[in-house]
Structure 1
Amino acid sequence: MEITSSTMVKPVCSVPHPLVGEKVPLTVFDRAAADAFIPTVLVYPGPAPSNEAVKEGLLKAITAYPHLAGRLALDDHGRRFLHVNNEGVFLIEATVPVDLADVLVDGRMAADVEDPYPTIPEESFGVALLQIQLNRYRCDGLVVGICSHHQAADGHSMSMFFTAWATAVREGKDFTTPTPFLDRARTSVPRSTPTPVFNHRSLEFTCGDRDAYAVVPMDRIKNLTVHFTAEFVADLKARVGARCSTFQCLLAHVWKKITAARELKPEEFTKVRVAVNCRGRASPPVPMDFFGNMVLWAFPRLQVRDVLSSSYGGVVGAIRDAVARIDDEYVQSFVDFGGVADANGEELVATAAAAGTMFCPDAEVDSWLGFRFHQLDFGTGAPSAFIPPDLPIEGLMIFVPSRKANGGVDLFMAVAEEHVAAFEEIIYSLD
């Protein structure tokens, strides 16, 4: 790989966005998000649009998402804020003297390939919150590597931005970027007397007595890719015996299989940390086109014997019940908790796990099933692959719409090396 250029791309428009120059305090949802850059990779087979076309679309899209061209900073009290200062997006262009087919293996980049996204910054402050690398291959294929800081936006928000960017490239000069909802303060309005009623100090934030997970060398954690066909998903839903989502039935299935592969004690408890989009759960609801962070987590929890012996319907019910508890009352309690912390000048630290963490007997799941790949078309077709980074935490899993077949789902999961063989042997079994 040869780096041909690196530059800071800044939005240029005759009338700056109204937020440019603002110092936007982080909301309690922002502070609950990981203080980390999240890499993702989109793969476009050749002939892909030119780098110039992709950059022009980026310039147009970023004008409607000014936070991404800003920087994280600290105020006089040591609290984080987003400085919407228009300093720009960091963009790298690289050429790779091989064909895409030479480096794509089962929907992932081959292990010996250099990372196709910018080097993840060690610090969060003062660096570009959105960093992009355009990798041009010999076959004229394009791999777009993206790193975005999680405290600037959650996955739902970034999918909105990716869609706006792709549409701007595809439509060209005539495209006007839709304006997302950007009022972060609207998401975090405490009651006149803030009254948190749930234990947010040990769920969304650390308090010193959370679960103590082991940390191991990274080579003990293996990344697996599992493909579920549309037929397999349909069979799973039939076994549930009631209406359920693809995400719910697949999570129930994988929870059963990883629990079995781990050979846990029957009386032990296991739980899954499930990301929940709270935009529509708040009262009043926040518009779905809100750009920022508004995710909390549900924690379905069962004894191992119940995970393994219960029907699919029973495990799906436990997942559904836990998610349902993240309702308007819970969201308001979380916002009130943030209001009390602000009033007391308390620094909140999110419960983000370190690389090498072993979640066993637990797990964590995120769903990117809401991605609409046809909307990420730069003009020569939708991406042929959507690749998450290697997952550094055992028990972490991500569901992504499959690029192999319509209606299928790909699971990317980090599994301890001693459990890989058992997990792979049983993952497609419906017994």
Structure 2
Amino acid sequence: MTEQIKDWKLRVESSKFVKPSYEGEPPCAELCIPLSVFDKVSYDVHVAVIYAFRPPTPSNSDIEKGLATALSEYREWAGRLGEDSRGEPVILLNDAGSRLVEASSDDVLGRTVFLGPNFLVAWGKATRGLPTDPRPLHDRGAFIPRNPPCVEFEHRGVEFTPKKASDTEDVPLTADIARGLDEHITSHVRISVDGRARLRPRVPDEYFGNLVLWAFPRAKVGDLVNKPLQFAAALVREGITRLDDGYFRSFIDFASSEKVKEEGLVATAEVHERVMSPNLEVHSWLRFPFRDVDFGGGNPFLFMPTYTREEGMLVLMPSAIGDGSIEVYVSLLGHNVAAFKQLCYLLKANL
């Protein structure tokens, strides 16, 4: 599939910034909103995805108008990252716009690609002339520390790390049978966990912002290789369950304290590694409403993440064919692919 996609010949027809379109008087374009503690600790990176729809589809001009309408509800996506007078990171609600690129190709997508959320659903509704329902919640100031704060868990070395961490520190490793790790190594896998349903009171799904922390289940590589699959599944379940309301509240209290600045701590998510081997990171997109995106011609027949340069990244998502199955997108170095395929065949045979 990768080689076929490389052969695509795309022509860029136009590239422009689309600004929000408002009914009546536009809001002030000099406002800014502070980032929450969850925004600050999360990745500062673009996530690219591919949607494909079967004809008939709306005109590009209708799609552009729908984008302008959707941006009036999701102003953050038309704004820019910046800093306030204290040097704190903020989102500038300046309505600078979101880039829209029109491109064409003579190739047929259905013959080229194997077939098998939030804002985008609103964009589709706006293109069809429907209101945004439910409307997004933008209140990033809801995650305030308790008084007095109560830090019950260790967050150093988990969500935060010193700015100048030594390269010789003992870093937990991640088990990947395909990578041929020593069985005596203690390993971990980093799993993103959505806090909306874990905080009390529950945060509505319509909250438009980051609300993710990470679980780090760990074990000996030998145990992962030699014990049943249920052993690894139990470790993952236990690690995720640990991130309850108490843990999220503890993180809010610690991340909001002066200790982060005093100790020169930075978010571990910002420690970018193009090759994570022998580490591994897993993101679940199973609850994202991908199939609800409709610009007027029906739901997408294909949704998939684009190529990622981070080796060791796994993305779990519902199958594009809508039969309830799960697709797993894995990013590996070329010399690990054959071993990984063989392990997948063996796992399937044993199920």
TM interval, shorter chain, is 0.7 to 0.9
Which of 378, 384, 388 aligns to 2:295? It is 378
Judging changes above 3 Å, is the alpha-carbon distance between structure 1 residues 5 and 416 closer, same or farther for their aligned structure 2 residues?
closer
- Residue pair 1:107, 1:387 contacting (<8 A) in 2 also: no
Matched letter for residue 167 of structure 1: K
Among residues 200, 205, 218, which one is paired with 2:160 in the alignment? Answer: 205
Alignment counterpart, residue 145 of structure 2, candidates 190, 215, 225: 190
Q: 2:105 aligns with which of 68, 91, 96?
A: 96
- 1:263 is matched with 180
**Equivalent residue, structure 1, for 2:79:** 70
- Name the structure 2 match of 1:324: 241
1:106 alignment partner in structure 2: 114
CA distance in 2, matches of 1:343, 1:17: 38
Which of 328, 335, 339 does residue 411 from structure 1 map onto?
Answer: 328
Q: Identify unmatched segments of 5+ residues in structure 1.
A: 109-158, 214-254
1:314 Cα shift?
2.2
* Aligned residue number for residue 276 of structure 2: 358
Deviation by residue 1:258-287 (Cα, 9 ceiling, x = unmatched): 732222222111211110000121233222
Q: Which residue of 1 aligns with 2:135?
A: 179
Structure 2: state its 5+ residue gaps: 1-9
Give the whole-Å Cα distance in 2 for the aligned partners of 1:340 and 1:21.
28
Write the deviation string for residues 360-382 of structure 1: whole angstroms up to 9, x where unpaired: 1x311001112334311222122
Offset at 1:412?
Answer: 0.9
Find 1:338's aligned residue among 235, 252, 255: 255
The CA deviation string for residues 184-237 of structure 1, in whole angstroms up to 9 with x for no partner, is 110x21012333232323212232448879xxxxxxxxxxxxxxxxxxxxxxxx
Cα displacement (A) at 1:290: 0.4
Please, which of 308, 318, 322 is the counterpart of residue 225 of structure 2?
308
Summarize the Cα distance change of 1:31–1:212 in structure 2 as closer, same or farther, 3 Å threshold: farther
Residues 176 and 209 (structure 1), Cα distance of their counterparts in 2 relative to 1, 3 Å cut: closer
Structure 2 counterpart of 1:243: none
Question: Does residue 1:49 correspond to 2:58, yes or no?
Answer: yes
SS at match of 2:257: helix
The CA distance in 1 between the partners of 2:95 and 2:237, in whole Å, is 42
- Match of 1:427, SS? helix
> Secondary structure at the residue paired with 2:234?
helix
- Give the Å deviation of 1:177: 4.6
> Residue type matched to 2:218 in 1?
R
3-state SS of paired residue (1:92)? strand
Report if the CA contact (8 A) 2:32-2:92 is conserved: yes
- What's the offset of the Cα at 1:344? 4.7
Cα distance, 1:417 vs structure 2: 2.6
C-alpha change, 1:18 and 1:276, in structure 2 (3 Å) is farther
Residue 376 to residue 87, structure 1, CA distance change in 2 (3 Å): same
| Cα 1:211/1:288, change in 2 over 3 Å | farther
Residue 161 (structure 1) aligns with: 119
8 A Cα contact 2:137 2:206, kept in partner = yes
Alignment of 1:368 with 2:285, yes or no, is yes
* Structure 1 pair 212–63 and aligned structure 2 pair: CA distance change class (3 A): farther
Residues 206, 93 of structure 1: alpha-carbon distance in 2 compared, 3 angstrom cutoff: same
Residue-by-residue CA offset, 1:78-131 (whole Å, 9 max, x unaligned): 3211111222212122222333245x23259xxxxxxxxxxxxxxxxxxxxxxx
Distance 2:90 2:35 in 1: 5
> Amino acid of the residue matched to residue 118 of structure 2?
M
Question: Conserved in 2, the CA contact under 8 Å of 1:359 and 1:393?
Answer: no
- The alignment covers a number of residue pairs equal to 333
What TM-score do the two structures reach when normalised by structure 1?
A: 0.71
Find the partner of 1:394 among 308, 311, 315. 311
Structure 1 CA distance for aligned equivalents of residues 209 and 132 of structure 2: 21
Per-residue deviation, 1:350? 4.0
Amino acid at match of 2:289: R
Partner of 1:240: none
